[in-house]
Structures are given as structure tokens and as C-alpha cells.
Homo-oligomer: A and B are copies of this chain.
Amino acid sequence: MHTFRLIIACPDRVGIVAKVSNFLATYNGWIHQASHHSDEQSGWFFMRHEIRAESLPFDLEGFKQAFTPIANEFSMTWQVTDSAVKKRVVLMASRESHCLADLLHRWHRNELDCEIPCVIANHDDLRSMVEWHGIPFFHVPVDPKDKEPAFAEVSRLIDEHEADCVVLARYMQILPPDLCQKYHGRVINIHHSFLPSFVGAKPYHQAALRGVKLIGATCHYVTEELDAGPIIEQDVVRVSHRDRVEDMVRNGKDVEKMALARGLRYHLQDRVLIHDNKTVVFD
């Protein structure tokens, strides 16, 4: 279904819903989905509408012009997107293939509504898998003694491919602060622990050492502080004393790829609104 997605965040007050739905009704807009959230603690209001595009008398640009006065009146942070315009997602990987293979397969089978203009990896191992899908693969090795040139090249590639969004599909490198800032709210990472437990390296080893009975994965937006960005999605799986670290790694992979795929889907459908360091996810 071809829809426009209207995403709004603003200070809460009476009349927002009426104003917006009135606007839509005036133009005969058919609301396919609508979700609201009043956050009592912050006093903010969040809203997402999907409106059937063919029911409206204008295109996306026309929508923006018509809606701007309302947005200004309510001091909205807002955007409207066209479901027919696929987001461009650059995937970044390292040697581990499970998340990358999962996303590529979903994309290949039309389960992920996006373009994948390229994959960037710091190792060459996954080239053949990527290229089988007809997607360009760029091997950008990272020199541990001087990472800057690699990240300059990464940044250039992301720009060149006009990425709307970057997904770190177990990329295993920490992005430098300037990249985090430049693509703020548009870089999605999968961390292989149930954050905030086990930040940083080797979370499954940390989990085994602590003797937890569940392990997890966290899909989140990347910020400058490591593994501390707004969480989009999390999931867990049960482990026991029988599970060695390598069993946790294997079982964790399934949780990682599921959490990442769900989180990315939410993002692609403009279901995630970031506020402070938290997310509203209209699933």
C-alpha cells in the first residue's frame, strides 16, 4: 500500500490530534494507521500516521508545504516520508556473517523495504556472499595503528552511496565520534548483550563469567558513548550451566540477527522516534 508517513514529536497540549486529523480530513486523507503517545514524565507528545497516498490531493512536497503552518504552530519536530521511496541502507560488517546473511536474505526476498547500495567491511571474507546478491562490496581494512584513513574512506563511501541509514551488522570496530555525530540517529548497531549489561568487548565471555541464566542482544542507535545509545529492540534466550562460551556465541547469534532485523524494520518504516536517549517505537 502506497502511504505517506507523518511523524511528529512536540510538547504535549490539547488539540494536537484534532488539528492534525482535521488537516488530514480536510484533504480527504484516508488514515491507514495512527499511533499516539503522551509521555507524562517529559510532557512530550509523539504521533505517527500512515495515510494512503492516493487519497491525498498532493505529492510529498505539497504535503510538506500544506502541513508546515501546523507544525510551526505546535513547535513540532516532524517529517513526512513516502513509502514508495525506499531508504538507502549501507551495511557494514567484519568477518561474522550471521547478521549480514540474514539481512541480505530478507532484502533479497522483499522482506526488508530498502535499497542496499553497498556493503563495507574491514575484512574481505564476505565478498562473495555479498556479490552473489548483486550488491557492491568494499573492503576497507582498518589499520589498528592509524584508523583515520579507513574511516575517512568509510565516510566517503557512505556519502557517495547516499545512505539514509548505516547498519553495523557486527562490524566490530568503534566508529569515531565525528562519524557518530554526522549520522546521528541514522547508524544502527547490534550489540551482543542485553544492555546495559556487558558493555564493550567479549560480552558472552562476561556473561559466562557472571553465570547469567539468559543472554541477549540489543539493537540501538550509535552515539559517541560506546553501547549507550537509544535502544530500539532487545531480546534474550535462555542459557544454562551446560552452555560454554561457544554455545552462548552460537545461540546469541540467533538473538542478534532477530533483534537487528526487527529494529531495522522499525527504522525503515519510520516507526522509531528518538527523544533524549530513549525511543518511542510504534510497532
Chain A interface (Cβ < 8 Å from any Cβ of B):
14-15, 17-22, 24-26, 28-41, 46, 55, 97-98, 101, 105, 109, 111, 128, 132, 194-198, 210-214, 216, 230-236, 240-242, 244, 250, 254, 258, 261, 277-281, 283
Chain A to chain B: the 10 pairs with minimum beta-carbon distance, closest first: A18-B25, A211-B278, A18-B21, A241-B280, A213-B234, A17-B21, A34-B36, A197-B197, A21-B21, A15-B25
Contact across chains for A40 and B197 when beta carbons are under 8 A apart: no
Number of copies: 4
CB neighbours (8 Å) of A242 from chain B are 37
Contact across chains for A105 and B101 when beta carbons are under 8 A apart: yes
Contact across chains for B241 and A281 when beta carbons are under 8 A apart: yes
> A231 touches which one: B24, B28, B213 (CB < 8 A)?
B213
Contact across chains for B17 and A241 when beta carbons are under 8 A apart: no
CB neighbours (8 Å) of A230 from chain B are 211
A22 to chain B, nearest CB (A): 5
Interface of A is mostly: mixed
Contact across chains for B233 and A213 when beta carbons are under 8 A apart: yes
- A30-B14, A34-B17, A281-B240 are contacts. A234–B211 as well, Cβ < 8 Å? no
A40 to B, closest residue via Cβ:
B244
Known contacts A32-B38, A98-B109, A195-B197; 20 additional CB pairs below 8 A are: A14-B28, A15-B25, A17-B17, A17-B34, A18-B26, A31-B38, A35-B36, A46-B241, A128-B132, A132-B132, A194-B194, A194-B214, A195-B212, A196-B198, A211-B279, A213-B233, A214-B235, A214-B236, A241-B280, A254-B261
Contact across chains for B25 and A33 when beta carbons are under 8 A apart: no
Contact across chains for B212 and A231 when beta carbons are under 8 A apart: yes
Contact across chains for A241 and B278 when beta carbons are under 8 A apart: yes
A129 to B, closest residue via Cβ:
B132
CB neighbours (8 Å) of A109 from chain B are 97-98
Contact across chains for B258 and A254 when beta carbons are under 8 A apart: yes
CB neighbours (8 Å) of A32 from chain B are 38
- A17-B21, A21-B17, A31-B38 are contacts. A234–B212 as well, Cβ < 8 Å? yes
Q: Give Cα distance in the complex from A28 to B261, angstroms.
A: 42
Q: Give Cα distance in the complex from A40 to B247, angstroms.
A: 13
